[in-house]
Structure 1
């Protein structure tokens, strides 16, 4: 009965708090309105691959966190509290899979707002097992997948959570463990010539006829995969202590990738699902593009990227992202769940696409000030 009452209260908050804030602050910008419409549509149409604690929801609610940070609009915080309460603050169940801790990013944020509400014990248990217990990846018994974070998406799912948890605990051992596993992924999947990440070892070129490649002969670099990485870098750097001993590794990687991502933007403002073969699927894709827009706009706002050079890039991208949103708030042109470049359509959507849209909007709002 108590839980039902809380959920009903949160529903009322989601329904009425945004108009109240609008009256208090004057007319909201169209970008703020678009972001709230995206949130409201997604909340009314929940979707996830396996469970409400899975990585798709983790990515979506990471966008909700950043939207709240920027706007301080209670509609976002209400959604976060509601989700966490319904999930009983649990992680997903696979302790040695980075995807399954992504949801805890939002729990840690809510904990900073309402410590009496959040149970962080499941997050603590997950991270201690994930980072410090021997398993088939860390002990080398899985020959095919020889490292803990063997796919590039993992660099968005776990590291930002670990940074937040390390700050909470005031313990660099979590940052040091994160760096160890991050560097393994970097060494395995980062192409130092192209300044992009292969999604996994299927796409790491060995210089032989069996290498997977696009029809144009180019290497296969997945837009969303690299979006996961550079958006994750922005989240990591945003909160990583300035004096952390390995910080420059992440900053240099971010800058290097930002230059390449800028070069690959297409004329319509969006990026294609196959970054070096835009003709393979010649249309914009919103999840990768949203993550790129967020990361580049973040760099401008932090003074890391040249404002004159990069502002036109993100403005063009944000205009195209806005055009991908339906009247009802749904964000379209999102490639479905996958692990390589595939097409999208105006009607294809996923919750992590909404998350990418909210992430991008959260930094574009700062850019407009």
Structure 2
């Protein structure tokens, strides 16, 4: 497979953009994707292992909320009442509340609202949305509504974009969408000076510390964090699933996700994974599950939504899935090679066969369910 490396520095990253177009060496007109009947047992095994080993469903922070987002995606696909019951018990344990209360502006604290919205759609009760709706309404209307610099790191796009998008749809109130776009625009084009998006490649820096000329890898190359870009991909997917095509910013979200997904094949490893630093294959190389799972999620959705060519990108998605299943999933359903909490490739190293985390399991369930939607 073609694994061209991103070049050094922001200018060089932009210069390499022409290389990051489509997978070529292994693209085919037809590709054998695993069937839904093959995918679902693996997803169930991983979900069931997590539930069996976590009788206490845990806190309502961003990491655990990501797990429940993935679990509820699996519930939507399977209809398994056990998954709904476990998620409902978690939400009720926290009274459908948010860390930091309704005055919080922190995107991490809003992530639980995604699962609450999922649970509301299954069993509509207004109390499930009271906290997330009040918190976002304050940001939109009453508490410094002109302040749009809250999302200063790229992870925030996954945590914060979908609740704004979904509440705007649910309440038929485009003011949520306008606030979403103002926050998003700051992250993308303003934060740190140029914004966190590298316009040449379509990839994102985690935060302003990693902009060109700042933090670099040991060999002097940029640090473009895999999971950070995974969070960006996931946020765009969930937002696009919620928004109508007619919403005036939808086209930009589609284009931005397309560019990110299109940049990924050049950095994919031959085993299907992506390294923790997309810009330097020698910087802490090795399989990593959370970023790879989110890239599977983004790629599978982009294929299904017609953003990228199916024949060209199915091999990318299939290689990612096969790598995850054969390397990261243990026989009993334990999910390994997850880089634990951090903000850069060096965080929580080494990443091993026995490294796992709730958000990594959630990302895997999201990626696998989206791939299953491509199959029969």
Tell me the residue number matched to 1:347: 354
- Using the TM superposition, give the Cα deviation of residue 118 of structure 1 relative to its aligned residue in structure 2, in angstroms: 4.8
Question: After the TM superposition, which residues 186-335 of structure 1 pair with which residues of structure 2 at under 5 Å, given as runs?
Answer: 186-187=188-189, 188-205=195-212, 207=213, 211-323=214-326, 324-335=328-339
Tell me the residue number matched to 1:60: 67
CA distance in 2 between counterparts of 1:138 and 1:244 reads 21
Aligned to 1:193, the other structure's residue is in SS state coil
- Using the TM superposition, give the Cα deviation of residue 245 of structure 1 relative to its aligned residue in structure 2, in angstroms: 0.8
Alpha-carbon displacement from aligned partner over 1:215-258 (angstroms, at most 9, x marks no partner): 23221110000000011111111111110011111011011111
Q: Is the 8 A contact 1:107 1:118 kept in 2?
A: no
Cα RMSD after superposing both structures: 2.1
Name structure 2 gaps, 5 residues minimum. 1-35, 190-194
CA distance in 1 between counterparts of 2:290 and 2:309 reads 24
Tell me the residue number matched to 1:178: 180
Tell me the residue number matched to 2:168: 166
- Using the TM superposition, give the Cα deviation of residue 183 of structure 1 relative to its aligned residue in structure 2, in angstroms: 0.6
CA distance in 2 between counterparts of 1:36 and 1:118 reads 30
- Using the TM superposition, give the Cα deviation of residue 69 of structure 1 relative to its aligned residue in structure 2, in angstroms: 2.4
Q: TM-score, normalised by structure 2?
A: 0.83
Question: After the TM superposition, which residues 42-53 of structure 1 pair with which residues of structure 2 at under 5 Å, given as runs?
Answer: 42-46=50-54, 52-53=59-60
| Cα distance change, pair 138–53 in 1 and its aligned pair in 2 (3 A) | farther
- Using the TM superposition, give the Cα deviation of residue 43 of structure 1 relative to its aligned residue in structure 2, in angstroms: 1.9
- Using the TM superposition, give the Cα deviation of residue 31 of structure 1 relative to its aligned residue in structure 2, in angstroms: 2.1
Name structure 1 gaps, 5 residues minimum. 1-27, 140-145
- Using the TM superposition, give the Cα deviation of residue 117 of structure 1 relative to its aligned residue in structure 2, in angstroms: 8.0
Q: Is the 8 A contact 2:201 2:259 kept in 1?
A: no
Q: Is the 8 A contact 2:68 2:362 kept in 1?
A: yes
Tell me the residue number matched to 1:153: 155
CA distance in 2 between counterparts of 1:152 and 1:274 reads 15
- Using the TM superposition, give the Cα deviation of residue 364 of structure 1 relative to its aligned residue in structure 2, in angstroms: 1.5
Aligned to 1:284, the other structure's residue is in SS state coil
Tell me the residue number matched to 2:7: none
Tell me the residue number matched to 1:75: 82
- Using the TM superposition, give the Cα deviation of residue 122 of structure 1 relative to its aligned residue in structure 2, in angstroms: 1.0
- Asked if 1:33 corresponds to 2:36, the answer is no
Aligned length: 330
CA distance in 2 between counterparts of 1:176 and 1:44 reads 42
Tell me the residue number matched to 1:23: none
| Cα distance change, pair 72–117 in 1 and its aligned pair in 2 (3 A) | farther
